[in-house]
Amino acid sequence: MSREHLQAFCSGFAALNAGNLGQLGQLYHSDMEFRDPLHQLYGLQAMHDYCANLYQNVSSLNFRFHQQDMLDEQRGVLRWTMRFSHPRLAGGQPVEVEGCSFIWLRDGKVYRHIDYYDAGALLYEHIPLLGRIIGWLKRRLA
């Protein structure tokens, strides 16, 4: 794996949208694994279905990659900001969440992808009643 593979993955992933999810097969192996704080998926078809549902439910979604580092011959780490709008979260206003991904590549494609981010900042804090409770808890703990 090379830095060029990481850059190609970031460019391809950032270019995804509801109309070009067929390109997932250029980024991921068919037997890939994806995990984040809210999901665990196995296989390219599960990833395709997840992305299709995601794009169907948001008004906008984009990723900006800030850092791409090789950890060794097979693994890379990516820092990113996701910006999205969902009609039922944050009054439909854009929400930004920072996160990082660890990816494992084989033959230039990702076979394992693990995302780390604050699920509260992504979802829970933007649900009206729950968001107020989480805000109150954060203030109390600070």
Q: Label residue 59 by pLDDT band (50, 70, 90).
A: confident
More confident call, 61 vs 95: 61
Q: Report the domain count for the chain.
A: 1
Kindly state whether residue 12 falls inside one of the protein's structural domains.
yes
Residues 40 and 61: their CA atoms lie apart, in Å, by: 20
Residue 9, pLDDT above cutoff 60: yes
Domain that residue 54 falls in: 3-117
Q: Label residue 55 by pLDDT band (50, 70, 90).
A: confident
**3-class secondary structure, 118:** coil
Kindly state whether residue 122 falls inside one of the protein's structural domains.
no
Kindly state whether residue 50 falls inside one of the protein's structural domains.
yes
pLDDT at residue number 123? 54
Kindly state whether residue 94 falls inside one of the protein's structural domains.
yes
Residues 111 and 92: their CA atoms lie apart, in Å, by: 34
Q: pLDDT for 119-139, tens place per residue?
A: 665 554 545 555 555 565 556
As given in the structure block, the two tokens for residue 88 are: 């039922």
Q: What is the mean pLDDT of residues 59-86?
A: 89
Kindly state whether residue 126 falls inside one of the protein's structural domains.
no
Kindly state whether residue 135 falls inside one of the protein's structural domains.
no
Kindly state whether residue 134 falls inside one of the protein's structural domains.
no
pLDDT at residue number 56? 85
